[in-house]
């Protein structure tokens, strides 16, 4: 994850509602995104993630409220030139199948006034250099996804909007994809990613926006979400073989202990109890061989906020 270098807001949404006929898809959304951030939108299908991306892209307008991207309303015709600063990879990538990969990227490069050299560079970067003269109709889903990423990255955009970007990619290609995003972010780009793959994005984002039924139910860094959720921290203590039960008894009856076997036992505590507990474990001396501290995972935090208690 890249450290932020500036505090400037590049996207601001205030009291945004979006309604289609009788269906409200976004409710009073307030969100500010700073330059250089990587924001991940998470939520079930229909939570409003794609609707939010379309508003930021200027593809739709809010029913009420305001949206500003790079200081302008992205839906106004005056903001068309501004879109040269945006890159977008939709969830379902569709290209004209009779064109080659190079022809597709050449077409988008002309729209962004980019050079053929930039096209060649991006084709190599996403691993399509050897397949660039093949027709898109012969590409696998993963290859089309990589071509879509190359299209989104044309012109070194200030803002990258990526909707379920690793769909159809194997684990190695997913890792390569995020390396490309990290490299773009190091150059100052801001990334807004919609994803269901919680374990995949857990270490990637500066902040997470958790959505449910058109509402932003939580927003923050992982640490901030941990505190908001008030979920317990898990600790695993490893001791010499056969000593686990005896050492666990020495912890005292007030400690929540579970999963005792011959060589280890587990404990849970809340964050404000963690340091006193760690000091207590350390005071047991050499009998303790190892201690692992396991904060709640993103999927646990997500499940907590999706239970409905915070709505």
Catalogue the E-assigned strands of the chain. Answer: 9-20, 23-34, 38-42, 64-69, 86-89, 159-163, 190-194, 207-212, 215-220, 233-239, 256-258, 264-269, 288-294
Q: Is 201 helix (H, G, I), strand (E, B) or coil?
A: helix
pLDDT bracket for residue 124 (50, 70, 90): very high
Angle between helices 116-125 and 101-111 (to 10 degrees): 130
Question: What is the rounded CA–CA span in Å between residue 168 and residue 178?
Answer: 14
| Together in a domain, 59 and 77 | yes
Asked if 244 and 109 sit in the same domain, the reply is no
Q: How does residue 311 score in pLDDT terms, banded at 50, 70 and 90? A: very low
Mean pLDDT, residues 177-198 taken together: 87
- In a domain, residue 306? The reply is no
Q: With bands split at pLDDT 50, 70 and 90, how would you rate the model's confidence at 25?
A: very high
Which strands sit side by side in the sheet containing 86-89, from one edge to the other? 86-89, 159-163, 190-194, 38-42, 207-212, 215-220
As a whole number, mean pLDDT of residues 232-245 equals 91
Structural domains counted in the chain: 2
3-state SS of 14-31? EEEEEEECCEEEEEEEEE
Full residue range of the structural domain in which residue 255 is found: 232-295
pLDDT digits (tens, 9 = 90+) for 167-176: 777 888 888 8
pLDDT for the residue 15:
97
Mean pLDDT lowest among 51-55, 95-99, 227-231 = 227-231
Residue in the structure block whose two tokens are 């029913």: 63
Higher pLDDT: 255 or 41? It is 41
Q: Over the chain, what is the mean pLDDT?
A: 88
202 and 250: one domain? no
Residue 110 CB burial class (10 angstroms; 0-12, 13-18, ≥19): exposed
Give which of 12, 35, 30 is closest to 206, Cα–Cα. 35
Q: Which of 76, 66, 3, 65 is nearest to 34 (CA)?
A: 3
Looking up residue 152, the CATH number of its domain turns out to be: 3.40.50.300
Confidence of residue 79 (pLDDT cuts 50, 70, 90): low
Q: How many CB atoms lie within 10 A of CB 142?
A: 17
From 227, 243, 276, the end of a domain falls on 227
pLDDT of 248-284, one tens digit each? Answer: 888 887 788 988 998 999 999 888 888 999 999 999 8
């Amino acid at each position: 994850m890249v450290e932020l270098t500036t505090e400037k807001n590049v996207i601001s949404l205030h009291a945004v509602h979006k309604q289609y006929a009788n269906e409200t898809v976004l409710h009073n959304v307030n969100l500010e995104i700073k330059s250089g951030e990587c924001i991940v939108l998470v939520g079930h299908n229909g939570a409003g993630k794609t609707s939010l991306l379309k508003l930021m892209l200027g593809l739709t307008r809010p029913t009420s409220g305001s949206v500003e991207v790079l200081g302008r309303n992205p839906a106004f015709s005056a903001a068309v030139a501004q879109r040269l600063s945006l890159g977008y990879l939709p969830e379902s990538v569709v290209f004209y199948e009779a064109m080659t990969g190079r022809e597709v990227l050449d077409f988008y490069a002309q729209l962004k006034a980019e050079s053929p050299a930039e096209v060649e560079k991006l084709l190599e970067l996403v691993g399509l250099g050897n397949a660039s003269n093949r027709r898109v109709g012969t590409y696998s889903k993963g290859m089309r996804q990589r071509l879509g990423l190359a299209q989104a990255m044309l012109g070194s955009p200030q803002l990258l909007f990526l909707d379920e970007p690793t769909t159809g990619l194997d684990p190695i290609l997913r890792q390569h994809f995020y390396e490309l995003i990290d490299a773009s972010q190091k150059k100052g780009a801001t990334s807004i990613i919609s994803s269901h793959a919680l374990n995949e994005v857990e270490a990637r984002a500066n902040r997470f926006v958790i959505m449910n039924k058109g509402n932003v139910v939580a927003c923050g860094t992982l640490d901030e979400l941990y505190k908001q959720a008030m979920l317990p921290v898990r600790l695993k203590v490893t001791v010499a073989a056969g000593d686990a039960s005896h050492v666990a008894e020495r912890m005292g009856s007030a400690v929540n202990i579970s999963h005792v076997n011959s060589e280890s036992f587990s404990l849970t505590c809340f964050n404000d109890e963690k340091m006193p507990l760690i000091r207590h474990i350390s005071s047991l001396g050499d009998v303790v061989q190892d201690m692992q501290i396991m904060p709640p995972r993103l999927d646990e935090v997500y499940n907590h906020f999706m239970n409905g208690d915070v709505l």
